[in-house]
Amino acid sequence: MEDGAIADGKTDNCKVFENVFNKACQSEGKNIVLIPQGTYMLRPIVLKGPCKGQVEFQIIGTLQTPTDKTSTINVDHWITFQYIDQLILSAVVENWMAKSLRFDFVTNSKITSLTSINSKNAHMNLFGSKGIEFHYIHIIAPEDSPNTDGIHIGSSSNIEITDSTIATGDDCVSMSPGSKNINIRNVTCGLGHGISVGSLGGGPNEEDVSGLTVTNCTFIGTQNGLRVKTWAKPYPGNVFNLTFEDIIMENVNNPIIIDQQYCPSRKCEKGDSQVQIHDVKYRNIRGTSSSKLAVAFDCSKSKPREKIELDEINLSYHGVEGPVASSCVNAKGIANGLQQPNLAYSTSSCSTLLEIKKN
């Protein structure tokens, strides 16, 4: 880092970072911004393209937010990257303490080996972006910290998240309207609310959510595992082509859950969600549930969930209330192979709504 950056953890280096980025951004070819050893304090900053060439941030030192709360009040970001193609953001080792990173209209980029601790809001927020890869990400926040999603995706496509650990107070990875072709692989979610699609149907003209694949992931002590949530409101939407495969649950409260009566407060009105959910596959989901109800489909009466596939589900419960159970409301599909919980002994009509096939 050039131009007078001071690594004392107290001095604001915003202007220096902005100047160095602009110099790299306006140069053709590949340009590297090196952040050396030391602790650099930054107040909220926006680094904006488009750039004439590729910009790569190589991070050896540590970046941190100011300690005074007045610097970040009413600010939903810390570092924002906008309108940049082929951005590379990487740490030599996983020791960069980032908070509230935004990627707005960023394309064809790679984010690797970053650590984010105790963000004010979502640790990493994507909007209007395409073709971004996240690898070896480490995200930490207290279990009781609200709205601290690990990676939040909206109106973005072709996003890949792999080989990462996320332990936070809210969703591990969340996908809001417009999330398309999202691939999540080899991610461990500890604490928090698991991987969530939604909440959806909260307003008019929402984009569809489609093409989500979650494979080889582990959930440890989370409130939810694989969740789709929609509001019971009169706004239409579509969620389709979701695949959850080779998933391990360890002491998860709601391993598999569809909630079309999502209501985080007591003031919500009950009704029929107008979001249509279809073509959802659960394959080889195994492990333990911390509640008796391990599979719960609470779907809309007017928009029943179509084309569900349950294939090799093996979830156990070790409590004192009896065997693990499932519940199905307005859900249609098929069940193949092992089914534990046993759909024939569900708390509602899973065995009649789902066609049970034997191998």
Helix (H/G/I), strand (E/B), else coil: 96: coil
Contact 156, 181 (CB under 8 A): no
Contact 56, 29 (CB under 8 A): no
| Structure tokens given for 334 | 């098929």
> For 303-333, what is the HEC assignment?
CCEEEEEEEEEEEEECCCCCCCEEEEECEEE
Q: 210, 222, 215: which is closest to 246 by C-alpha?
A: 215
Q: Could you tell me which residues come within 8 angstroms of residue 1 by beta carbon, excluding any fewer than 6 positions away?
A: 13, 16, 17, 20, 33, 34, 35, 36, 40
Q: Could you tell me which residues come within 8 angstroms of residue 149 by beta carbon, excluding any fewer than 6 positions away?
A: 121, 122, 123, 125, 168, 170, 171, 172, 173, 174
Write out the catalytic residue numbers: 193
Enclosing H/E stretch for 352:
helix 350-353
| Structure tokens given for 146 | 């609200």
Contact 83, 48 (CB under 8 A): yes
Beta strand pairing call for 173-175 and 138-140: unpaired
Distances (CA, A) of 232 to 264, 306, 350: 12, 18, 22
Enclosing H/E stretch for 24:
helix 14-25
- Map tokens 């980032």 to a residue: 98
CA distance 241 to 207: 15
Q: 330, 331, 234, 228: which is closest to 274 by C-alpha?
A: 234
Q: 209, 193, 205: which is closest to 155 by C-alpha?
A: 209
